[in-house]
Structure formats: C-alpha cells, structure tokens
Structure 1
Amino acid sequence: MDSPTHVIDPDGEVIIVLQNANSSFAETTEEDVVANGSPHTVTKYDEETSSPTEEPVDAQEDVAADEPDPTEKTSAEEPIEQPDETGPLPKSPDKKCFRIQVSAKHLTLASPVFKKLLTSHFKEGITYLQTGSVEVIAESWDLEALLILLRAIHGQQYQIPQKLSLDVVANIALLVDYYECAEAVYIWTTLWIAALEKELSKAYSRDSISWLFICKVFRLSARFRETTSIVMSCSSSGWISNFGLPIPDQVIAAMNKCREEAIAKLIDKLHQTLTDLLNDSRGCSYECRSIMYGALTKQMQSNDLLSPRPVTPFPGVSYKQLVQKVSGFRSPQWVVGERSRYYHSCLGSSFARLFGELSDSIEGLHLENFVPPIPITLSEGK
C-alpha cells in the first residue's frame, strides 16, 4: 500500500484516495447547463452498491498501478497547502491521486454518509470490519477544501485558516452538502462568511451563484433572500444558470419565473399605457394624450420595447437595467395657449405619474420554501 500524502490522524484506519483533484468548479457555461443539465451533480451511495452513479465518489477496488508515487511529506503537522496567489491549485495533468489518512471514528461521528459507508454492507464497510482499515475513493474534490474539512472534523483548529476565498468556501460547502456535516465547520463558517460578506457580488455572475449555494448549504435565510434578489434583478441571460452547482432545481426555476414575470409586468405596463392614451382613458385633453402618446412611442421604440415586443425568456434584458431605462424616459413639456407662462401639468403629463413608483429590484426568495431545516442555523449577524 502506498504511503499517505497527507496525515490528519497518524493512527487513522481510513485512507481517502482523492483522484482527479481540483477539477473545474462552477465554470460550466449557461448554454451547456441549459442543454445538458448539471454535469457536476453528485449522487450519494444507494442501498445496493457502494459505487455511486455519479461523481464525486468512485468506489474502485484499488488505485491504478501506474499512478505516480506521491511526493508530499507525511507529517501529521503538515500545514495545509495554500493555492498560488494567481488562482486555485492547478489540476494535475496526470490526474495524480492524493492519499489522506484519517480516523474512521471521527468520520462516522461527523458524517452520516461516512457512517453509512463504513458500517453497512457496502464493500468499504465490509473491508473495514474485516481488516480494521480501508481505502475510500473520492473523485474531483478540491484538495484544499477537503483538507480543511477533514481537519475541522478531527478538531485540528489551529491548522484551519480564519479567512478563505469565495471559491474555497464554496468548495467546502459542496463537501458539506454531500457528506451532510455542517456542524463540523459551524464556528468556522461563521468567520469565513463574515469575512466574505464585503465581497458579495452585486451582479448575476459565477460568484453570486457560488454565494447563493453557500447560503443554501448553511441555511443563511436573509443572505439567500438578498442574493436571489440580486441574481433575478441583474440577470440578462434569458435563463439563470446553476453553473454546475447542486442548487435545487426548484430554486433555479423559481428565480427564472420571478424574473420573467417582473420583466413581463413592466413591459405590459408600458404597452397598456400606450393603449390607454390611444383610447382616451389617460390624459386630460386631446393635446395631452397626443403628446404623451407620441413621446412614449418614441421612447419605447428607441429602447427596443415597442416593435418587435420583447418576449419571454427576455434574452438580453435585465430587470434592473429595464427599470432604470424606463425611469429615465424624458417627459415632454409644453404650454397651453400662446400667452401662457406655465408648462402644462396633470396626472398624465409625465411618465413618472403615468407609471407610478418603480423598484429596480425583485423581491428575493425565502429559503425555507425550498430546503428543510437543519438542527443548526448560522447566525447572520443581523
């Protein structure tokens, strides 16, 4: 048996063999996700076999014989490898595996997934019960995130950073979600999230979706509501993507529905206002209705809102930017009579009065409508 590359517990009975470490994370294009689903969706062990149907755990019998010898030190006090300042740990071109020695007792106490794997009829459990040691194959996890989680599970608090990047925290959330071990990093997650909060993206992006996933895993209700509001309000892609993260389909569908409904409602308001002016149900006089109708028609046409009329799923249309455009419509000004010194004013003589108050943000979703509660909920400091 090859020596471990990382030792969390020198007396540990379990070797986690991490293959294809540091695979791409949350980088799937939206087109791929829409067409093909989530390629990084993970599936837990089932009752019949210890080999899952999908990544990240692949229960092979042995590590391939042609794997290169590990080069890392085997000290139990070895510090966590830090990524290069220019980016995350690189993906090894030869798919070199890492061997991490850990305690079976700690794993089974912290994670019901590990407990099921090591104490039931899975082949890993049978091997462990018969020989007192076992190898567990894991696939594609981020090495740094996995080491941090395992050190937290083993109570090695001095070796856990107090501040992490968004990517690392999201990778830890991916592990916590899969192994169902939020309590193991409860205190640390509070610190990591507090440090990251100032960096919260205010646009629809890979980072905002990563943050949304973190909120979902650690049950951050207020931040989840805020982040879904940002994503729905700022997305102009036509379809909000999960970027390959295991965010519930119901959440993605609800965000897309709310975004489309908000955009459609505002566009309907514009077209209905045109109809009302044309049918004499808005405005105070022929001149008022004619001038406002012409001005609104011109503004809508110049902003691609008239013909052709935008249709769902509104690709290229951001609700936030749409509201800002409409709020910036220039209202005409005119005087009635040759000798009048005052501009005409009535309830229908300005776009602000015709449209009413417009908010450029969509109300966020409530987390409790999509995921069951967990025994612990992180404090959000609010």
Structure 2
Amino acid sequence: MASPNSHHIIIEPTGETLLILDTPGAKFAVWTAFEDVGDGSHDTNAEDIDDEFFHQDGLEEEITPNWTKWEEHDMSEEEENIRRRADSPLPSVSMIWEEHSTHSTAYDSVKLVAPPALVYQISSTHLITASPRFKEELASQNEGCKDENGLFHLKASRWDPDAFTILLNVLHTRYRRVPKELSLEMVAKIAVMIDYYRCGEAFELISEIWIRHLRAHHSIPKTYNRDLMLWVLVSWVFKLPKEFSRCTARALRQCTQPSIQYLELCIPPVILQAIQTRRSSAIAQVLETCNYWIDEFSDTYTCKVGEHMSFECSSMLLGALMKQMKGLGFLSPRAIAPFDGFSLESMAEGVKGMRSPVWETYNEVNELYPISHSCSLETTVVRDLGRVVARVKGLVLGDFLDEGEGLED
C-alpha cells in the first residue's frame, strides 16, 4: 500500500501499476562558482565569441523549420501550475520545515521533514512499449507481486515531480496535458530522465516544440556557466548538431579549469574528455605561437623595412612581447598544462591587446621626415594567433553517435 503521507496522481485511470516517486525534487545540476566564472547567460554586453578571432565557427543562425502544429486548447489548471513551477531554477518540491512555537522557550524548534512521496497510477503496457529500462523493471513482475488492490508497484526516486509527470504523460501519449513551452531548466531535467529510461523516440515530436521555444527565449549563453552546460546536455540528448557544436566550442574556449563542470549530468565522459583535451591543446598552441616569436625575434628575424635595422627592430619587439607575456601570466612562471586558471578566449584577447613599440625611421627617398616603423606585434604574433584560434572548433555531434542514431536538422 502507498504511504498515507503521499500524493496520488492519475496518469492512466485504468492503469494496473503504481509508480512511487520517493524523495522528489532532489537538488539538480549544482554549479560550483569560481571567481573568474561569470554568470551573464544573457549578457548583451558580453562580446560574442564568434566575432574577431572566433568568426570562423562555420555555424550560422538557426532557421526555424516548419514545426508540427499541435492542437490548440485551453490551459488546464494543472498544466498552468506545472508551467509556473517550471520557470524556477530550484527543485519544484523543497524540503518542508515544520516550526513549533511554544511559550516556554525563547526559540522555535525546527524540524526537517522529507517531502511526501508521489504515487502515480500508470499503465505498464505504455511504459514497456516506450522504455527499455521500464521494460526491464517490469519484467520481474508477476501475479504474486500485486497488492491487495490488484496493483503492481514500481519505485523511482529523486526526480523533479513536474518533470516526471511530463515524462509519464508523454509516455502515455497524453499530449494535451504536456506544456508546449518549458524553461531550459525543465527541458534539462526531462532530458536526464529520457537518457536514463532510454525513451528518446517517444519525445521526438514534442521535443521539437520545446527546442523551438528554447531557441527563441533561452538562447545559448555567451559565457561558460551552468546554463551553457545544460544546453550541452539538451543538445546531446535531443541530437541537435549545431547547438552541440556551438555549446562545446564556447565551453572549451571559456573554461578556466582543467576539468569541465558536468554537474553530474548524463553527458558521456568521452565528450567531456574531448572538450578538456581540445581546450588544453588550443591553449598550448597559443603559448607555442608566442614562444615561436620569442625565438624568432631572438635569432633570425629580418626587419621588413631594412635588413640593417634587424637588430634594433627585433630587440624592441622581443622586449615588448616578453614584457607583456609576463604581465598576462604566460612567463615567470611559465604556464604549463593543464593550464589551471587560463581560458583560451582570455589568452587570445590578451595577446590581441598587446602594444607594439612605436618608433620612427628614415628611408632612402626622404631623409628629412621620419616615418613610423611598420614592423609590429600585430603583423607577427597577433596575426599568427588569429589563425590558430580560428581553427578551434566545437565538437561534431556525429563523432559521438553510434551508427544508426539520427540527427535533427
């Protein structure tokens, strides 16, 4: 029997199974904030990483396809409540605090009580058809497992109750009960369950509606933060190649830590490792480019204005480069892998902002009026660095899919 301290939700009135959700609303995707990690998921002042060095992403703006039209209907009170709660970034069901005030003490006693379990009446046939994991869990059920009311029992735990209700309604094809507009937070919670229960096919149509809304109202953040990693998850689970490439590009360019914060989400380790490896490799190439020009200015550099000025020219450029590299933290001590505290984007911006020595020379034609010397860091180090960073791309979704898995256009 279900506990009396529980809420009963009917998904299928004729269902022969009770699915009990214990400890609903556990913390989801907890982000550890670092001092240099900004929020700014929608910061219009943040420089778009597709500009300047990063303009060669090869990723164009999304064109909204002709989406499946769902039947219009009045919003039910239940759906309205789900939508309202879905906008909150916190778990929908929180721990319940009971406060007991007495006149004999100066303080109230506070007791932490676990949230009540939720009991769903469902159809096992629908779950078996849609989800291999539910099929495995229900395979052990037989007539002897029924309770006194003739119902089978299943258990789940820690899922967000609103997201879980949406999942079950979709698996039972109760689409009129399913909100058509969800927050990124809610779509991510559902994506985790889709991955866990392996029921992606059942969500192919409705997910198009959700993704369309996200593209319009919850765009991919310009900074590496929690929402960006939620987008990585969503683009992976729902097989969105352009969003996946863009998200992973921004993560590897802006992450300052050796390890990507995956928030205990179902992002495959091979993807996380690929982001980390590509980040480290790109930062190493930035430093190699700077070190190449240190060697070049120290040894073999020939001044483009006049070979007889090579010593003076290279000495000034060498000093300017090393001085500013030290100021950026690239030298003394030398930055080494895994480059903790460095991001590819901040390093590229730092090098791009390097100042070149300003000095004047005379040419053979006009010996009376000096002209500005044309050799600079912009035409050497910065130019080469731009080429390096422009080659840094996001991951390709198809590289991580098993053969036969489809991609959304």
- In structure 2, relative to structure 1, the CA distance for the partners of 1:376 and 1:79 (3 Å cut) is farther
Deviations 1:296-346, CA, capped at 9 Å, x for gaps: 122112211121111111122111111111111111221124844311224
Residue 354 of structure 1, CA deviation: 3.6
Partner of 2:395: 365
Q: Percent identity?
A: 30
Match of 2:360, SS state, is coil
Taking structure 1 as the reference length, the TM-score comes to: 0.79
Partner of 2:135: 115
Partner of 1:174: 192
Within 2, Cα distance between the matches of 1:298 and 1:277?
Answer: 14
Within 2, Cα distance between the matches of 1:139 and 1:192?
Answer: 25
Residue 256 of structure 1, CA deviation: 0.5
Within 2, Cα distance between the matches of 1:370 and 1:86?
Answer: 32
Within 2, Cα distance between the matches of 1:329 and 1:106?
Answer: 63
Q: Which has the higher strand share?
A: 2
Residue 116 of structure 1, CA deviation: 2.2
For the Cα contact (< 8 Å) 2:241–2:408, is it kept in 1? no
Taking structure 2 as the reference length, the TM-score comes to: 0.74
Match of 2:355, SS state, is coil
1:201 aligns with 2:221: yes
For the Cα contact (< 8 Å) 1:232–1:258, is it kept in 2? yes
For the Cα contact (< 8 Å) 1:226–1:364, is it kept in 2? yes
Identify which of 19, 24, 33 aligns with 1:21: 24
Alignment of 1:341-380 (within 5 A): 341-346=370-375, 349-357=376-384, 358=386, 360=389, 362-373=392-403, 376-379=406-409
Match of 1:79, SS state, is helix
Identify which of 213, 219, 236 aligns with 2:256: 236
- In structure 2, relative to structure 1, the CA distance for the partners of 1:326 and 1:166 (3 Å cut) is same
Residue 95 of structure 1, CA deviation: 3.2
Alignment of 1:315-330 (within 5 A): 315-330=340-355
Residue 375 of structure 1, CA deviation: 5.3
Within 2, Cα distance between the matches of 1:226 and 1:326?
Answer: 23
Q: CA RMSD in A?
A: 2.6
Alignment of 1:45-84 (within 5 A): 79-80=78-79, 81-82=81-82, 83-84=84-85
For the Cα contact (< 8 Å) 1:277–1:289, is it kept in 2? yes
Within 1, Cα distance between the matches of 2:157 and 2:271?
Answer: 26
Deviations 1:153-174, CA, capped at 9 Å, x for gaps: 1122121111111111001001
Within 2, Cα distance between the matches of 1:282 and 1:167?
Answer: 57
Partner of 1:39: none
For the Cα contact (< 8 Å) 2:127–2:171, is it kept in 1? yes
- In structure 2, relative to structure 1, the CA distance for the partners of 1:26 and 1:124 (3 Å cut) is farther
Within 2, Cα distance between the matches of 1:20 and 1:313?
Answer: 39
Partner of 1:161: 179
For the Cα contact (< 8 Å) 1:107–1:115, is it kept in 2? yes
User: What residue ranges of structure 1 are gaps of 5+ in the alignment?
Assistant: 32-76
Alignment of 1:213-224 (within 5 A): 213-224=233-244
Partner of 2:209: 191
Within 1, Cα distance between the matches of 2:175 and 2:380?
Answer: 60
Q: How many residues align?
A: 330
Partner of 1:100: 120
1:145 aligns with 2:136: no
Within 1, Cα distance between the matches of 2:17 and 2:337?
Answer: 52
For the Cα contact (< 8 Å) 1:276–1:282, is it kept in 2? no
Question: Is the deviation greater in 140-149 or in 88-97?
Answer: 88-97
Deviations 1:353-372, CA, capped at 9 Å, x for gaps: 34425165630111222232
User: What residue ranges of structure 2 are gaps of 5+ in the alignment?
Assistant: 35-75, 97-113
- In structure 2, relative to structure 1, the CA distance for the partners of 1:165 and 1:97 (3 Å cut) is same
Within 2, Cα distance between the matches of 1:248 and 1:147?
Answer: 26
For the Cα contact (< 8 Å) 2:321–2:377, is it kept in 1? no
Amino acid aligned to 1:304: G
For the Cα contact (< 8 Å) 1:334–1:344, is it kept in 2? yes
Within 2, Cα distance between the matches of 1:251 and 1:126?
Answer: 44
